[in-house]
Amino acid sequence: MNKLLLIEKKNLIKATIALLITSALGLSAPALLAYAIDTYLAVGDYEGVLWCGGLLLLLAALAFVTQYFQSLWMGSIGQRVVYRLRDEVFHKLQSLPLAYFAGHQTGDLISRINHDTEKINQFYSQSLMRFVGSIVSMVGAAGFLLALQPRLGAAALAPAVVVGLVTAVLTPWIRSQNSTNLVSTGKVSAEVTESLENFKVIAVFERRDYFRENFDEVNRRNYDHALRAGVANGILSPFYSLCSQLAQLIVLVYGLILTGRGEFGLGLLIGYLVYVDRVYNPMRQLAVLWATFQSAQAGYARITEILEETSRLPVLPAAEPEPDAPRIEFRNVSFGYREDQTVLNDVSFKLEPGKSYAFVGPTGGGKTTTASLMSRLFDPTSGKVLLDGCDLRTYSGEERSGKIGFILQDPFLFSGTLADNLESLEGLEGMFERGLETPVEGLSLGQKQVVAFLRAIQRKPSLLILDEATANIDTVTEKTLEQLLQTLPPETTKVTIAHRFGTIENADQIFFVNQGQVEPTGSIHHAVSRLKEEQRVS
């Protein structure tokens, strides 16, 4: 977390100077009080007492001013640090490959950006200077105690050594409990996000009770973890209070003995007790601040996990394309989302320019995985995917985006208007009353799919992949989409992933995908027969 502060070095230096001045003013007060009692009050010089009282008020006023600026500068540091951190995390997430998101829940990632960064903000804005100030006050007060009466000072500070040892032993456990609590909070966020994003489906299938039960379970676990974290965060505070009271008792008893012997003045004893409080009162605050620090560290660790991920899929050096190469070639490709899972096993096939291909098979057979590998949403575990005779890994993201169009079953449009998604409507102005100025919000599913088709086609891709792209639209809209496909350049290769065989009647070749294999099949009737056989066997 230290590198976050280096960015705000200027404000940090100013805040630190203000802190040191505030601490020095605070440490001067007990010495002045002791001096006033022993020098003026003891001999009845009330004018001297008033002068010392006025000086104490001046010290308090100066401390108020320096503490105000200290809080102002540290608040600014906290907000800027969190601003930069959130910005960095969001940009990092935008650069990560799809495989990362396949293994992480959206709600948990949102929780890291919002909740975990707020923990860091609270520490830097509210706790860091109090944390450092408490340490400075403790060290300064301890110095006064040892300087005024070494033996009494050593006795007064003995409980502090015990406090340090106990803190060192308990810190890993406190940090662990806070880390577990943050993970649990992320799961609650993930559960809420999933239910809200899919509420229409939940309502249609009447799965409200199921999601309520799931949320109750996750929320109960979060409650348990939060309780444990609360216990961990609060366990040091009463122990620190006990040590503080023990130290004050030692000073009071030993100090009265020294006072009775004439070795200690009454004012000095009172000042000594104040300095003991200046050692142990910050220590009690440190118990709370230390817990805040552990929580911030746990949050930063979760954020660092994202920042240390490898950005994007690596791009290999460009190579000369192979002569007479097909549009797409799978060459001994194997792939699995996990090490213990194989979705495709040693698959090889070729797709030629200008041809239309269909990939069919049972649900979960690997059709969408095959399409994802064609567009390099994932890299093969072994083997190679080639585009126009070059390893797909040699193309940059921008180059792939220009050559490959990918249309999904559930269209995603950029927020705003159609102008934020399209260059022109190309004869479809009648479908949208306000033309390119039509807001994206409020469009029907069919209209969104038309826009998604048009957006992909306007880029004139060499390869167009349709993954169940017409599964949820009406016949009229489907005909409109077919007309749009006719505007593609003749050399464009079209790949259709489909369950409905009516959408692949015009395919030049059909591939059957199942059990890790991608095999060419004959006519559409043969594909239907094979699919029925697979369903019967399963």
Which of 15-24, 159-168, 255-264, 374-383 holds the top average pLDDT? 374-383
Burial of 140 from C-beta contacts in 10 A (0-12 / 13-18 / 19+): buried
Q: What is the pLDDT of residue 538?
A: 54
Q: Report yes or no: 468 and 497 within 8 Å, Cβ to Cβ.
A: yes
Let me know whether 284 and 402 are in one domain: no
pLDDT digits (tens, 9 = 90+) for 159-168: 888 888 888 8
pLDDT digits (tens, 9 = 90+) for 491-507: 999 998 876 666 677 88
pLDDT digits (tens, 9 = 90+) for 402-445: 899 988 877 888 888 988 888 888 767 778 888 889 898 888 88
Domain assignment of residue 170, yes or no: yes
Over residues 35-44, the mean pLDDT reads 79
Let me know whether 184 and 53 are in one domain: yes
Report how far residue 472's alpha carbon sits from residue 474's, in angstroms, rounded to the nearest whole number.
7
Over residues 193-215, the mean pLDDT reads 73
Q: Residue 317: left (phi > 0), alpha (psi -120 to 50), or beta?
A: beta
Domain assignment of residue 72, yes or no: yes
Domain assignment of residue 142, yes or no: yes
**CB within 8 A of 128, min separation 6: which ones?**
74, 78
Helix (H, G, I), strand (E, B) or coil at 500: coil
Domain assignment of residue 318, yes or no: no
Over residues 35-64, the mean pLDDT reads 85
Let me know whether 284 and 410 are in one domain: no
Helix (H, G, I), strand (E, B) or coil at 513: strand
> For the chain, percent helix, then strand, then coil, each to nearest 5?
65, 10, 25
Q: Report yes or no: 4 and 85 within 8 Å, Cβ to Cβ.
A: yes
Domain assignment of residue 315, yes or no: no
Let me know whether 214 and 338 are in one domain: no
Let me know whether 76 and 170 are in one domain: yes
Let me know whether 347 and 210 are in one domain: no
Provide the domain count of the chain: 2
What are the CA-CA distances from residue 465 to residues 300, 305, 370, 480, 497 (Å)?
Answer: 40, 33, 11, 17, 8
Let me know whether 117 and 260 are in one domain: yes
Report how far residue 452's alpha carbon sits from residue 449's, in angstroms, rounded to the nearest whole number.
5
Domain assignment of residue 433, yes or no: yes
DSSP result, 187-226: HHHHHHHHHHHTHHHHHHTT-HHHHHHHHHHHHHHHHHHH
| CATH number of 401's domain | 3.40.50.300
Domain assignment of residue 317, yes or no: no
Let me know whether 166 and 275 are in one domain: yes
Q: Report yes or no: 385 and 333 within 8 Å, Cβ to Cβ.
A: yes
Q: What is the pLDDT of residue 536?
A: 60
Let me know whether 303 and 340 are in one domain: no
Domain assignment of residue 239, yes or no: yes
| CATH number of 124's domain | 1.20.1560.10
Q: Provide the mean pLDDT of the chain.
A: 83
Given a cut of 80, whether residue 523 has pLDDT beyond it is no
Let me know whether 243 and 102 are in one domain: yes
Q: What is the pLDDT of residue 6?
A: 67
pTM exceeding the 0.85 threshold for the entire prediction: no
Q: What percent of the chain lies above the pLDDT cut of 70?
A: 93
Over residues 112-123, the mean pLDDT reads 84
Let me know whether 426 and 521 are in one domain: yes
Helices (H) and strands (E) in the chain, counts: 17, 10
Q: What percent of the chain lies above the pLDDT cut of 90?
A: 13
Report how far residue 61's alpha carbon sits from residue 299's, in angstroms, rounded to the nearest whole number.
37
Domain span at residue 57?
2-307
Nearest Cα residue to 407 out of 509, 494, 513: 494
Let me know whether 467 and 407 are in one domain: yes
Over residues 184-192, the mean pLDDT reads 83
Q: In what order do the strands lie in the sheet with 382-387?
A: 344-351, 328-335, 382-387, 390-391
pLDDT band, residue 534 (cuts 50/70/90): low
Sequence letter at residue 503: T
